Structure 1
Amino acid sequence: MKRSSPANLGAEKGQKQPTMEEDKVRSLFNSKIWDPEFQDTLKNEIAMSKPYNWGTIRDLIDDDLLRKVRKEIETEIHFTNKETDIYKVNQSGDLANLSGLDWNDLSRLPSLCRLREILYSEVYRDVISHVSGAGTLSGSKMDMSINTYTKGCHLLTHDDVIGSRRVSFILYLPEPGKRWKDHYGGGLRLFPSIVANVPHSDHSAKLVPQFNQIAFFKVQPGFSFHDVEEVHVNKHRLSIQGWYHIPQEGEKGYIPGEEAEWVKTNTSTLAQLESNVLQDYEFPKNERNILPYHQIRHFDELLAAQTSEHEATESSVDLSLLSEGELKYLAEFISPHHLTSAGIHKLQSQFVTKSQLQIDDFLNDTKSEVLKKLIKTDELQKECPYESVNVEAPWKTALPPHKWRYLYIDGKSHENFQTEQDILNSLNNEEMPNYNLLSKTLDPVKNNTETELISVATFLESTAFKKFLALVTLLSPLSEQVLIRRFRPGKDFTLATQINKNDLLERVKGFVEAVLEGTLCLTPTDGWESGEVGGYELYMDNQDDDDEANTDIKDAAVYRSDDTGDSVLINKPPSWNSFNLVLRDESVLQFVKYVSWAAKSSRWDITAQWDVKTVDDDSENDAE
């Protein structure tokens, strides 16, 4: 599941191709596109379009040719379902890679080859160059793919900034003669940017695709954000996706060094996210707050004592390490069988062996029943806000949507980012999370569910719980961050990310170069186990692929599908009242898969991260 482009229809650079006469090329397009008045009108429309420069043309290609193309695709090309963090789509196989075919051997895909030839013909490229204002376009560097979106398929927010791409286009081929309706889904949605490289959470324009319609836009680094809406029905939304590139050597418009400078200057937005260039514009902040010194020392002493006891007994946990008051407080939340000496030892053994742990029935029956009733009531009786402008305190919307989107509560004051000034105001407010203070500002009737969730988040931040956590993992917490999250059907997800080091802790003796992650899943419905409606939390090995053949179009927006599945370490579907603990280093990626509109409810959870360290008998020196 590394990121790369879908199956390619592109010809190899410099490959000899037949030259169709210009009159023949023109005859295979709608004659209106050669009309200077039509071109100028379209150019003006594109220049004035929002949220960025884009355009569309209906009935672009000769109808008979396009119907033949669709028939060839249906009969000659095999599609494989591919699902990653950013998309679920049916991609074309080897037959779609026309660069592997002899240009003189058109027996199996003659119409498709003819279509590719006219789309990259000089006369048509000149039209697209003129109306889009993108500059001269390459005819030798071809880059196309065939996809069919069926029910549940989607492609999340990205800007297409990869290599030397200059114009993106999508030629739509749903069933001819029938209108593709809005409620089918599968629309092309365009997102405005709050600032460069930070798209708004909500789209501001949408195209409902029809047969023989093309949509296209100039690739604008940091601004040309778009997605493909999930398809809601059992119909095929077939399309040909392609790109025009910067002219290559020997072509009209070639400028030495232009491509290299473009690639150097316009880093993909995902690469910027991974390098933390945009971290000021990410919300919620990746801030694991350092715990007070006296707490850290207390955990060290606890674990030093537990280690000595463990060496003596090797089969139990000394509950006297927890005070009577702490055990009583823990019992208000945690199921009693997890708080016995044998129960803690069982959890400890499992975690020490695997560096991961799933604790089922984590919350006790009383707390679990109260929360489940409240969350179910919210799902059934309260309208969930789907537009960020309608999100009310204490909830916020995660930004930017080419990294993640979900509702969250972080213990800080309410924010609703609609403008650059909103973000700047937040950056100037260095507020620490305080769930206790936040709960006092809520209406206990209107925000009953939020109040209960906050009580659990406060519990996870308590010293008593962190002592329990230390006994289970034999690791001493150094920092913490706790978030309450809600992933809405048809809307929310997180893309795969690595953990970030906490530089403030790099000199701590015994500091483990890893982060302990805990997710208390509180999703009140079933039907998630198959993965068909998404929402699962997935951990995977992040190994570089040194065999990437087409490095200049290495896609920083789409993960390569790992057909073997060997890279998947953990795949945890949503459930009720399960607490998942994972010790994760920088070699592991994690994401929550996009939640399908077909899911029976939102995915609810409370997630936490702790920087941790190991402890030996010299606990005092470790704490220092």
Structure 2
Amino acid sequence: MKRASETQIETREDSPQKILALEEDKVRSLFNPKIWDPEFQNKLKEEITDAKPYNWGTIRDLIDDDLLRAVRKEIETEIHFTKKETDIYKVNQSGDLANLSGLDWGDLSRLPNLYRLREILYSEIYRDVISHVTGAGKLSGTKADMSINTYTKGCHLLTHDDVIGSRRVSFILYLPDPNHTWKSHYGGGLRLFDSIIPNVPQSDPCAKLVPQFNQIAFFKVQPGFSFHDVEEVKVDKHRLSIQGWYHIPQKGEKGYIPGEEKEWVRTNISTLAQLESNVLQDYEFPKDERDILPYHQVKHFEKILTSGAKEGSVSVVSEDDQLSEQEMAYLKQYISEQYLSKDDISRLQAKFAEDSSLQLESFLNEEKSSLLRKLIKREELEKDCPYESRDVQAPWKTAVPSHKWRYLYIDGKSDENFKKESDILDTLNREELPNYELLKKTLEPLQETELALVELVQFLKSTIYKKYLTLLTSLCPLSEQFLVRRFRPGKDFTLATKCQLNPLLKQVDGFVDAVLEGTLCLTPSRGWESGEVGGYELYMADEEEPDEQAQDIKDASVYRSDDTGDSVLINQPASWNTLTLVLRDESVLEFVKYVSWSAKSSRWDIKSQWDVKCVD
């Protein structure tokens, strides 16, 4: 259906050129007149060229105010929003109108102003302005690509670069309450990230735009550089926006170059594809590296399992090849006795054999649990948590790159800094094994929390604990890795990733094509059970797109859905003193959901991984 003004124009006996001119005048009238001024355009182009950390720009009061207010009213009254959550975002999306290019524009009775807005945003004269000021080249008018989102309290979108398909320019048109100023402390800002090297963004943003009604932000999609996120909204207000992209010209359009889109897609790999293909793994810290255990340890664990197989079950007896009384006494220094009796171990072993997972609440005994809780709570209440990477002090480090994960961690290795490219490249050329005993000696007296956590890791790394683990799982550990982690509110997360098997161990007889993972969660605060503040650890089956077309149109910012359903295998909220053991193969994804500003504390845990073999 055409607008009334268009119908009137086309019934007049005018030349096609005259009709086009009138239509162009109508488009011009719905924008702020300043954007057609060559002086304004050239000044904006210069600002975009000089912008940091990459070429981006913004225009205030872009659209006719009456039109945009009418659009906002249509959206509020006619469009239903549903909260959607994945590992990379939480947002309210419009159901059938999530992508405006899919609408049937034959019936515009509900959304005439939204249709008009879409038409002018993809009009040739406006596209030419955006093309000129961004230096992006010609833009498609037929491949329209827009969506409507509203960010409410807790909503966010984590770091990504918008590289997917034929996108050439990204834009966000903001529609918060037109009668009130959106303030910086509300959150919801567009934050831009510099890159350490191409495809590796910094941990912290270096620029932020606080959105206002009738303001547009836009940038040329620059593979490996145009990293940005949407800051979590911290207040009970709606940050409504229209997100859209301009694409490479399609066949039949001005600027179309045969083969250009195919070459662009081939050479510019999306953020998601890069993370999944591991092309950036050299620049990822902490490393996914499990240290191979000594041969004599492995043989001892094999003997335990072989002995148990001959007896028909694994039992805890005072024999040299199993747990002695002294070893049981050692375990009781840390582990609750409810998990150490012969019957308890047999019960847990049977459950693990059936489910390939265990959740052990109150895992540490009361003495160790109380001490750790006291120390971690004091850390939360009395010490300032470093939120900028430059403020992070040893033994803590910041996980990078920020489009895969971000959290504080202790890995038992020497301190590293990731402020510039040379720091990362120096680290790439330095092989180092973790040494928690040496790290313990470097800790200062005031670092009581770190000392207690390092001592706990030393216990988990002990041969006796690994023997206990062997009994629980009937699996023989071949390698190990331990990380102490802290996920700060309003800052930290991990995106969904697959586990990586150790290629050096794949030829071992009985090697299991899976990784045994343990997460000892030590989060001292309450209020995590509902998942509203994030911080939960989720395991889910990897459900690949069934066809190439579906894969091609998948939004770069949509990684993995964590909606409840058959794909979710385990969803473990942050808690105090809970050990989760999971045998995870390469078809299972895992992530820790972004921790909201409204969480009452950081999420603390000790993450462990073991390559394993099956003896029987």
What is the 5 A alignment of 1:133-172? 133-172=135-174
Matched, 1:377 2:378: yes
Aligned-partner Cα distance in 1 for 2:606–2:84: 29
The code of the aligned residue for 1:205 comes to A
Give secondary structure in 1 for the equivalent of 2:555: coil
2:284 to 282, 285, 290: 282
The code of the aligned residue for 2:606 comes to I
Q: Given that residues 306 and 471 in structure 1 are in contact (C-alpha distance below 8 angstroms), is that contact kept between their aligned partners in structure 2?
A: no
Aligned-partner Cα distance in 2 for 1:58–1:251: 30
Aligned-partner Cα distance in 2 for 1:293–1:559: 40
Structure-2 change in CA distance of 1:269 and 1:100 (3 Å): closer
Matched, 1:523 2:523: yes
The code of the aligned residue for 2:225 comes to F
The normalised TM-score by structure 2 is 0.95
Q: Given that residues 282 and 399 in structure 1 are in contact (C-alpha distance below 8 angstroms), is that contact kept between their aligned partners in structure 2?
A: yes
Structure-2 change in CA distance of 1:144 and 1:550 (3 Å): farther
Aligned-partner Cα distance in 1 for 2:476–2:509: 12
Query: 1:538-581 CA distances to partner (integer Å, 9 max, x unpaired)?
Result: 00010212157544332343135465611100000011111000
Residue in 2 aligned with 1:29? 31
Aligned-partner Cα distance in 1 for 2:514–2:108: 55
Aligned-partner Cα distance in 1 for 2:292–2:539: 25
Aligned-partner Cα distance in 1 for 2:589–2:453: 27
Structure-2 change in CA distance of 1:316 and 1:299 (3 Å): closer
Residue in 1 aligned with 2:190? 188
Deviation at 1:289, TM superposition (A): 0.9
Q: Given that residues 525 and 600 in structure 1 are in contact (C-alpha distance below 8 angstroms), is that contact kept between their aligned partners in structure 2?
A: yes
Residue in 2 aligned with 1:344? 345
Aligned-partner Cα distance in 2 for 1:523–1:585: 27
Q: Given that residues 317 and 324 in structure 2 are in contact (C-alpha distance below 8 angstroms), is that contact kept between their aligned partners in structure 1?
A: no
The code of the aligned residue for 1:414 comes to D
Aligned-partner Cα distance in 2 for 1:44–1:177: 32
Deviation at 1:360, TM superposition (A): 1.2
Aligned-partner Cα distance in 2 for 1:535–1:382: 21
Q: Given that residues 76 and 95 in structure 1 are in contact (C-alpha distance below 8 angstroms), is that contact kept between their aligned partners in structure 2?
A: no
Deviation at 1:99, TM superposition (A): 4.0
Residue in 2 aligned with 1:214? 216
Matched, 1:434 2:442: no
The code of the aligned residue for 1:150 comes to T
Give secondary structure in 2 for the equivalent of 1:377: helix
Aligned-partner Cα distance in 2 for 1:200–1:99: 34
Q: Given that residues 188 and 231 in structure 2 are in contact (C-alpha distance below 8 angstroms), is that contact kept between their aligned partners in structure 1?
A: yes
Aligned-partner Cα distance in 2 for 1:257–1:201: 36
Structure-2 change in CA distance of 1:563 and 1:532 (3 Å): closer
Deviates more, 1:232-241 or 1:264-273: 264-273
The code of the aligned residue for 1:29 comes to F
Residue in 1 aligned with 2:296? 294
Deviation at 1:306, TM superposition (A): 1.9
Aligned-partner Cα distance in 2 for 1:117–1:520: 54
Give secondary structure in 2 for the equivalent of 1:540: strand
Give secondary structure in 2 for the equivalent of 1:168: strand
Residue in 1 aligned with 2:336? 335
Residue in 2 aligned with 1:465? 465
Give secondary structure in 1 for the equivalent of 2:498: coil
Residue in 2 aligned with 1:6? none
Give secondary structure in 1 for the equivalent of 2:497: coil
Matched, 1:401 2:402: yes
Aligned-partner Cα distance in 2 for 1:174–1:280: 41
Structure-2 change in CA distance of 1:489 and 1:27 (3 Å): same
Aligned-partner Cα distance in 1 for 2:521–2:361: 10
The code of the aligned residue for 1:190 comes to L
Q: Given that residues 154 and 229 in structure 1 are in contact (C-alpha distance below 8 angstroms), is that contact kept between their aligned partners in structure 2?
A: yes
Query: 1:77-126 CA distances to partner (integer Å, 9 max, x unpaired)?
Result: 11010011000000011145444544343211000000000000000000
Aligned-partner Cα distance in 2 for 1:165–1:95: 20
Give secondary structure in 2 for the equivalent of 1:430: coil
Structure-2 change in CA distance of 1:115 and 1:560 (3 Å): farther
Give secondary structure in 2 for the equivalent of 1:594: coil
The code of the aligned residue for 1:33 comes to I
Aligned-partner Cα distance in 1 for 2:511–2:59: 59
The normalised TM-score by structure 1 is 0.93
Structure-2 change in CA distance of 1:210 and 1:267 (3 Å): same
Residue in 1 aligned with 2:601? 601
Residue in 1 aligned with 2:501? 501
Residue in 1 aligned with 2:264? 262
The code of the aligned residue for 1:378 comes to E
Residue in 2 aligned with 1:8? none
Aligned-partner Cα distance in 2 for 1:274–1:563: 21
Q: Given that residues 542 and 587 in structure 1 are in contact (C-alpha distance below 8 angstroms), is that contact kept between their aligned partners in structure 2?
A: yes
The code of the aligned residue for 2:331 comes to L
Residue in 1 aligned with 2:12? none
Matched, 1:446 2:446: yes
Deviation at 1:315, TM superposition (A): 8.5
Aligned-partner Cα distance in 2 for 1:102–1:408: 50
Residue in 2 aligned with 1:367? 368
Deviates more, 1:557-566 or 1:511-520: 557-566
1:48 to 47, 50, 71: 50
Q: Given that residues 101 and 146 in structure 2 are in contact (C-alpha distance below 8 angstroms), is that contact kept between their aligned partners in structure 1?
A: no
The code of the aligned residue for 1:153 comes to C
Matched, 1:226 2:228: yes
Q: Given that residues 362 and 577 in structure 1 are in contact (C-alpha distance below 8 angstroms), is that contact kept between their aligned partners in structure 2?
A: yes
The code of the aligned residue for 1:366 comes to E
Residue in 2 aligned with 1:239? 241
The code of the aligned residue for 1:412 comes to K
Runs (5+) with no aligned partner, structure 1: 1-17, 617-624
Deviation at 1:316, TM superposition (A): 4.8
The code of the aligned residue for 1:213 comes to Q
The two structures, once aligned, show a CA RMSD in angstroms of 1.4
Residue in 2 aligned with 1:612? 612
Q: Given that residues 535 and 595 in structure 1 are in contact (C-alpha distance below 8 angstroms), is that contact kept between their aligned partners in structure 2?
A: yes
The code of the aligned residue for 1:164 comes to S
Give secondary structure in 2 for the equivalent of 1:571: strand
